Amino acid sequence: MSTAGSKINLTTRIFSLINSIISRSAFGDKSDDQVEFVSLIRQAIALSTGLDLDDLFPSSKVLHMLTGYKGKIEKIHKRVDKILDNVVRKHQEKRTRGHDGNKSEIENEDLVDVLLRVQQSGSLDIQLTINNIKSVIWDIFAAGTDTSATTIGWVMSEMMKNPRVREKAQAELRQAFKGKELLSETDLEELTYLKLVVKETLRLHPPSPLLVPRECTEQTIIDGYEIPKKTMILINAWAIGRDPQYWDDAESFIPERFDGNLIDFKGNNFEYIPFGAGRRMCPGMAFGLASVMFPVALLLYHFNWKLPNKMKSEDLDMTEDFGLTVGRKYELCLIPTVYDV
């Protein structure tokens, strides 16, 4: 049984869901300034995307002034710093109330509470500063929001483009949780096929396609090219994931290719590195995967999905947008129909 619905913009809903998830994990709750904070992150990411004149002449102060780049970054930094000061101050006040006898205030610690506790305990070899804590919060938002939301957008897009895969994933879910109204995160363990779908999506659409830039620490020769010491190296995980030398039918979306295959996200298989590899690989991998798997499982379990305007699956536009994270160029609009479990 199902109840018909109308068209929704899934892209914007996914971003606001992921913002709330990350916000709750980092701040313990939605921050009063969450909307502004996320918009500032977007602006900062947009400014750090691509090569501009400042990158070509980094030591030219005049150029920095002319492009206004530095001014824009400083303006964002000032505002972000104020918001983060507020977050830290509120947590400090809450901790003080907790130590003054109101124990419920410190029962459920969020990330900021943990960092403040570690800072006050002095248990680390290095002294954690308030600026360090603010940087961690910033990192989690900047690195965790767009990557997870973009991946969910691609998982849903690939499943709309490939109805066979969507139906198989939905059948697995509805069979595993028949009649169950509320799913929990631990239920995800049973979803073998959905895991393959997410894996295949990350092969074709790694949200950070060029990883974090590296600097060459010693002169090296690769394929006859001499790479001098200190050269900035960009690794194209997107191209590696589509390289026909490593992948059969590389451009096609076939989750089954990972079935029984030992290739994993963990950075040991260099033909598949959506989370990077080595010392700078993504520290939020487990959190990121859970933040993708769980919402996708809920979307597929509780709803059936159709493309609007009688569009055929093969006509869905999969053009990518260029940026630090590479998402869909056009927002994904779909018609959900509630599925009675």
Which residues are at the interface with ligand HEM (CB under 6 A)?
Answer: 139-140, 143-144, 147-148, 151, 207-208, 211-212, 274-278, 280-284, 287-288, 291-292
Least distance from ligand HEM to the Cβ atom of residue 321, Å: 16
Please say which residue, 176 or 211, places its beta carbon nearer to ligand HEM: 211
Query: Across the strands, what pairs with 250?
Result: none
HSE on the CB side for 9, CA within 13 Å?
Answer: 8
Nearer Cβ to ligand HEM (112/307): 112
Question: Considering beta carbons, is residue 237 or 307 the nearer one to ligand HEM?
Answer: 237
As measured in angstroms, the least distance from the Cβ of 47 to ligand HEM is 18
Report the nearest approach of ligand HEM to the CB of residue 212 (Å): 3
Q: How far is the CB of 242 from ligand HEM (least distance, A)?
A: 16
Note whether 57 and 64 are within 8 A (CB). no
**Of 159 and 307, which has the nearer Cβ to ligand HEM?**
159
**Residue that the structure tokens 């606001």 belong to:** 16
Beta strands in the chain (DSSP E): 2-3, 8-9, 214-215, 220-222, 225-227, 232-233, 303-306, 333-339
Phi, psi of 294 (to 5 degrees): -65, -50
Write a three-state SS string for 150-183: HHHHHHHHHHHHCHHHHHHHHHHHHHHCCCCCCC
In terms of CB distance, is 61 or 279 closer to ligand HEM? 279
For ligand HEM, the closer CB: 155 or 307: 155
SS3 (DSSP) at 133? helix
Mode of pairing for the β-strands spanning 8-9 and 214-215: unpaired
Closest distance of CB 258 from ligand HEM, Å: 16
The CB-of-228 to ligand HEM minimum distance in angstroms stands at 21
The closest of 253, 213, 40 to 142, measured between CA atoms, is: 40
CA distance 227 to 243: 23
**CA 131 to chain centroid:** 24
Does 333 belong to an annotated binding site? no
Binding residues: 282
Which amino acids are annotated as binding site for heme, given as ranges?
282
